[in-house]
Amino acid sequence: MRASGRLRTLALAAGLLAGATACSGGSAAPSAAPVTRAAVSSSATATPALPPPEVTRAEAGEVFSTLTATDDVLRAAAPKLHDGTLRDALDLTRDAEAQLTTAAYQSTGYHPPRYEWGSPVLYVPRFPAGSESPWFTALVARDGHPTLLTFAKVNKDAKWQISAVTRLLDGQDPPPVQLDAEGYATALDPGDKSVTISPQYMGPLHATAAEAGATGVAAGLIAPGPYTTDLAEEINDERKAAKDAGLSYDSIFSGNDYPVYALRTRDGGALIQYSLSRNTTTTAATNVKDFIPVPDDAQWAIDEPKVRRTLKLTETHQYATAVPPASAPAAARVIAHEGGLTRASGE
């Protein structure tokens, strides 16, 4: 029965996707129309022809169109097919985005939000032919809001999946990505030292800023704001309030094993995308208060409105940060975010 249900899900998705393609006249070629004020650059100087990259801009455009259309078909079918569509949706996603996709389905009673997508601006790194684990990023309007989507493969022979999604914060534009004469971007290695924060250290430093605030070791490296130092103040306030209520409270940000994606920007800096986990534990430390209320946004995962002794919440957060070049040191700025509660338990 389970296999039969899965086949019905895939058949419905294929039928709806075929209908959508027929109505639209097929997949459109990726558009270069900008969705923000940020401009992309290319060299006007003639250069010798370069060897074909592992991922072409045309292929990236097809991947974007196919995966976003299929994702929408599955979200539309979710209210009727429930777990069948979620399983297929998870085939389209990986890393932190897979966790957030699961929560989007389960927390809404299988009525996940649906999106309208604009025409993407594609940032496709020029990976040499045969490169393992290729990826690319699309800057696109999602329901009218500029959003970064990164698509990746586990290896060059694997299928494409959506790995990261972040919505630009109000008032923020992505830094202009450096493009070569053929419109391809440059990916930075994890340990690249030409920027003030190497890509591999962006997540750990961000976690430090969120926990220690303006006085931590990340002070001056990451700009203060609602997704960095303000979180440290929030945690401190919650800890004090919990103590007054006879509770113990702790909230820890940490890195994970998910990929970090970094693109060279025109100023020599980088646009870095990464994810963090936040684990919050509330425990009844005394007999003053025997029950811990379950937050509204966690009640989809916990049946009871209160738990007796311990409440554990796990959040998954994705970020995009503009990092200056090492030649012009300045604080890195968080410019995009998407995240939320992905797991909860209590006893």
- 304's CB contacts (< 8 A; 6+ apart) are 294, 346
| 142: pLDDT strictly greater than 90 | yes
Is residue 254 assigned to a domain?
yes
Is residue 338 assigned to a domain?
yes
The predicted structure's pLDDT at residue 6: 39
Is residue 289 assigned to a domain?
yes
d(CA 114, CA 325): 37
Is residue 168 assigned to a domain?
no
Please state, in angstroms and as integers, the Cα–Cα distance from residue 292 to each residue in 13, 186, 234, 286, 314, following that order. Answer: 42, 49, 19, 12, 16
d(CA 75, CA 72): 5
The predicted structure's pLDDT at residue 245: 87
pLDDT tens for 301-335 read 999 999 989 999 999 999 999 999 999 999 999 99
Is residue 319 assigned to a domain?
yes
- What pLDDT band is residue 217 in, cutting at 50, 70 and 90? confident
Report the predicted TM-score, pTM, of the whole model to 2 decimal places. Answer: 0.85
Across residues 193-203, what is the average pLDDT? Answer: 98
d(CA 264, CA 322): 10
Domain of 252?
Answer: 199-346
pLDDT tens for 51-84 read 889 999 999 999 999 999 999 999 999 999 998 8
Is residue 36 assigned to a domain?
no
**Structural domains counted in the chain:** 1
Is residue 312 assigned to a domain?
yes
| 129: pLDDT strictly greater than 80 | yes
Is residue 210 assigned to a domain?
yes
pLDDT tens for 225-280 read 999 999 999 999 999 999 988 899 999 999 999 999 999 999 999 999 999 999 99
